[in-house]
Amino acid sequence: MTERIEIEDLPGVGPATAEKLKEAGFNSVEAIAVASPSELAGFAEIGESTASKIINAAREAADVGGFETGDLVLERRKLVGKLSFGVGSFNELMGGGVETQSITEFYGEFGSGKTQVVQQMAVNVQ
């Protein structure tokens, strides 16, 4: 388990700034990491450049998100498979079948075949 980092441990955040941030609802490093510089600057009464530095430090400390290049996303998408319905026209309608590693929603009126489609998919994946 990783060590919990407190707001006061972030560079540029002193006791007074930490108190203002906590009063504004920023109770964790993660909350600061997802804030905008203008939002943080307004609540803590600091400059936007200082707020940006604090946010960047919080993002590193919290290890929140991160940027992915298009190449990495493309490589990950290449690993996504398709589950066939067993019906050519339905596969074509669904772009080759239902994608793996994702959630697919079927909706429609009563009696339109939603349950039948899902039950058929349950049989197909076995």
Residues 38-84 pLDDT 10s: 999 888 888 899 899 999 988 888 877 667 889 999 999 999 998 88
| Tens-digit pLDDT profile for residues 11-35 | 888 888 888 889 889 888 999 988 9
Please tell me the distance from the alpha carbon of residue 4 to that of residue 23, in angstroms, as a whole number: 20
| pLDDT tens digits along 112-121 | 989 998 898 8
Where do the domains of the chain lie? 7-62, 70-124
Q: Structurally, what CATH architecture does the domain formed by 7-62 represent?
A: Orthogonal Bundle (1.10)
